[in-house]
Structure 1
Amino acid sequence: MNDSVVSYREICDNVKMAREAAILGSYDSSTAYYQGVILQISRLISCSTDPVKRSKWTEAQQKLAIELDQVKQLQNTLNSLRSDLERETNTSAVAGAGGCSFEVDDSPWASPSRDPDVWPSPKCADHRSGPPPRPPGRPAKRGGASSKPPTRGAKSASSSSSRKAPTPLEKKPAVPSADGKGPKREVKKDDKAPKEEKTEEENSDSGEKKFDPSGYDRELVDLIERDIVQSDPNVKWDDIADLLQAKRLLEEAVVLPMVIPDFFKGIRRAWKGILMVGPPGTGKTMLAKAVATECKTTFFNVSSSTLTSKYRGESEKLVRLLFEMARFYAPSTIFIDEIDSICSRRGSESEHEASRRVKSELLVQMDGIASSSDDASKVVMVLAATNFPWDVDEALRRRLEKRIYIPLPTLEGRVSLLNINLKEVKVDEDVDLEKIAKKLEGYSGADITNVCRDASMMSMRRKIAGLRPDQIRQLSKEELDLPVTREDFDEAIKRCNKSVSADDLEKYVKWMKEFGST
Structure 2
Amino acid sequence: MSIDYTEICENTKLARENALFGSYDTSLVYYQGVIQQIQKLLVTVKDASKKNRWQQVRSEINIEYEQVKDIQKTLASFKSDSSRSAYSHNDYGSPFDDYSRHEEPTRDPDVWPPPTPVENRPSPNIRGGVQRPAPKRNEPSNRYRSKPSSSNTPDDRRGRYGGGSRPSDRGRDNRGKDKKKEEGDEKKFDPSGHDKDLVENLERDIVQKNPNVHWDDIADLVEAKKLLQEAVVLPLIIPDFFKGIRRPWKGVCMIGPPGTGKTMLAKGVATECGTTFFNCSAASLTSKYRGESEKLVRLLFEMARFYAPSTIFIDEIDSICSKRGSGSEHEASRRVKSELLIQMDGVAGVCGGEDSSKIVMVLAATNFPWDLDEALRRRLEKRIYIPLPTVEGRVELLKINLKEVPLAPDVNLMEVAKVLEGYSGADITNVCRDAAMMSFRRRIKGLTPDEIKRIPKEELNMPTSMEDFLEAKKKVNKSVSQDDLKKYEEWMKEFGSV
Whether 1:330 and 2:338 are equivalent positions in the alignment is no
- TM-superposed deviation, 1:233: 1.1
Aligned counterpart in structure 1 of residue 451 of structure 2, from 468, 471, 474? 471
* Kept after mapping to 2: 8 A contact 1:269/1:374: no
Q: How many residue pairs get matched?
A: 388
Task: Using the TM superposition, give the Cα deviation of residue 204 of structure 1 relative to its aligned residue in structure 2, in angstroms.
Answer: 4.2
The match for 2:360 is 380
Match of 1:36 among 23, 38, 63: 23
CA contact (8 A) 2:11 2:34 kept: no
Q: Calculate percent identity across the aligned residue pairs.
A: 63
Residue matched to 2:414: 434
Cα offset, 1:200, TM superposition: 3.6
1:407 aligned residue: 387
Change (3 A) 1:318 1:265: same
Q: Does the 8 Å CA contact 2:11/2:30 hold for their aligned counterparts?
A: no
- Quick one: structure 1 residues 376 and 305, their matched pair in 2 at CA, closer, same or farther if it must change by over 3 Å? same
> What secondary structure is seen at the aligned counterpart in 1 of 2:284?
coil
**Is residue 2:184 matched to residue 1:197?**
no
Counterpart position of 2:299: 321
Query: Secondary structure of 1:441's match?
Result: coil
Q: How much has 1:363 moved relative to structure 2?
A: 0.5
| Offset from partner CA, 1:153-199 (integer Å, 9 cap, x none) | xxxxxxxxxxxxx9577xxxxxxxxxxxxxxxxxx961331133224
Identify the match of residue 329 of structure 2 among 341, 351, 356. 351
Partner of 1:95: none
1:38 Cα offset (Å): 2.6
Q: CA deviation at 1:223?
A: 1.1
1:254: Cα distance to partner?
A: 1.6
Distance 1:73 1:493 in 2: 60
Deviations 1:423-455 (A, max 9, x none): 111111211100110000000000000000000
Q: Name the structure 2 match of 1:272.
A: 250
Structure 1 segments, 4+ long, off by >4 Å, are 1-8, 42-50, 63-70, 72-75, 166-169
Whether the 8 Å CA contact 1:282–1:406 is kept in 2: the answer is yes
Distance 1:388 1:49 in 2: 42
Residue 325 to residue 6, structure 1, CA distance change in 2 (3 Å): farther
Match of 1:283 among 261, 268, 281: 261
Say which is worse superposed, 365-374 or 390-399, in terms of deviation. 365-374
SS in 1 for 2:23: helix
Counterpart CA distance in 1 for 2:17 and 2:268 is 46
Give 1:209 deviation, angstroms: 1.2
Residue 219, structure 1, aligned to residue 197, structure 2: yes
Deviations 1:456-493 (A, max 9, x none): 01000001111111111111211100111111111001
Tell me which amino acid in the other structure corresponds to 2:398.
Answer: L
Q: C-alpha separation between the residues in 2 aligned to 1:325 and 1:255?
A: 21
Equivalent residue of 1:508, what SS? helix
Check 1:516–1:482 CA distance in 2 against 1; reply closer, same or farther (3 A cut): same
TM-score w.r.t. length of structure 1:
0.69
Alignment of 1:490 with 2:470, yes or no, is: yes
Query: Relative to structure 1, is the Cα distance of residues 14 and 471 closer, same or farther in structure 2, using a 3 angstrom cutoff?
Result: farther
Tell me if 1:360 matches 2:333: no
What is the CA–CA distance in structure 1 between the aligned matches of 2:77 and 2:205, rounded to whole Å?
Answer: 35
Q: Distance in 1 between matches of 2:281 and 2:9?
A: 31
Among 348, 352, 371, the alignment partner of 2:349 is 371
Q: 1:235 to 1:33 in 2, by over 3 A?
A: farther
The 8 Å contact of residues 316 and 361 in structure 1, kept in 2 or not, is answered as yes
**Which amino acid is the alignment partner of residue 23 of structure 2?**
G
The question of whether the paired residues in 1 share the 8 Å contact of 2:398 and 2:432 is answered with yes
Indicate conservation of the 8 Å contact 1:298/1:331, yes or no: yes
> Tell me, what secondary structure is at the counterpart of 2:341?
helix
Structure 2 residue aligned with 1:210 = 188
Change (3 A) 1:360 1:45: closer
Structure 1: distance between partners of 2:385 and 2:259: 13
**Higher Rg:** 1
Residue 455 of structure 1 is matched in structure 2 by 435
In the alignment, which residue of structure 1 is the partner of 2:371? Answer: 391
Structure 2 equivalent of residue 311 of structure 1: 289
Residues 6 and 218 of structure 1: CA distance in aligned 2, closer, same or farther (over 3 Å): farther
Q: 1:488 to 1:312 in 2, by over 3 A?
A: same
The alignment status of 1:339 with 2:317, answered yes or no, reads yes
Which of 211, 218, 237 does residue 215 from structure 2 map onto? 237
- Aligned in 2, Cα 1:168/1:286: closer, same or farther, shift over 3 Å? same
Partner letter of residue 71 of structure 1? K
2:79 — aligned with what? 71
Q: 1:330 to 1:72 in 2, by over 3 A?
A: closer
Which residue in the other structure is 1:28 paired with? none
CA gap 1:66/1:234 in 2 versus in 1, 3 angstroms:
closer
CA distance 1:277–1:423, change in 2 (3 Å): same
Q: Deviations over 1:363-405 (max 9, x none)?
A: 1111111122242211101000000000000000000000010
| CA separation of 1:442 and 1:14: change in aligned 2, threshold 3 A | farther
Q: Is the 8 A contact 2:219 2:397 kept in 1?
A: yes
* CA–CA distance in structure 1, aligned partners of residues 380 and 74 of structure 2: 54
8 Å contact kept, 1:168–1:189:
no
Is the 2:8–2:34 Cα contact (8 Å) retained in structure 1? no
Q: Does residue 500 of the first structure (1) align with residue 480 of the second (2)?
A: yes
Q: Give the AA of the match of 1:326.
A: A
For 1:238 and 1:69, locate their aligned partners in 2 and report how far apart those are by CA, in whole Å.
Answer: 50
Which residue number corresponds to residue 424 of structure 2?
Answer: 444
Structure 2: tracts of 5 or more residues without a match: 38-64, 91-116, 121-165
Choose the corresponding residue for 2:398, options 415, 418, 440: 418
Tell me the amino acid that sits aligned with residue 281 of structure 1: G
Q: Distance in 2 between matches of 1:5 and 1:289?
A: 56
2:461 matched to 1:481? yes
Supply the distance in 1 between the matched residues of 2:382 and 2:207 (Cα, whole angstroms). Answer: 24
Cα gap change, 1:49 to 1:398, in 2 (>3 Å) = closer
How far apart, in 2, do the equivalents of 1:360 and 1:299 lie? 23
Q: Structure 1 residues 5 and 310 mapped into 2: Cα distance closer, same or farther (>3 Å)?
A: farther
AA of the residue aligned to 2:490: K
- Counterpart position of 2:160: none
Task: Classify the secondary structure of the residue corresponding to 2:278.
Answer: strand
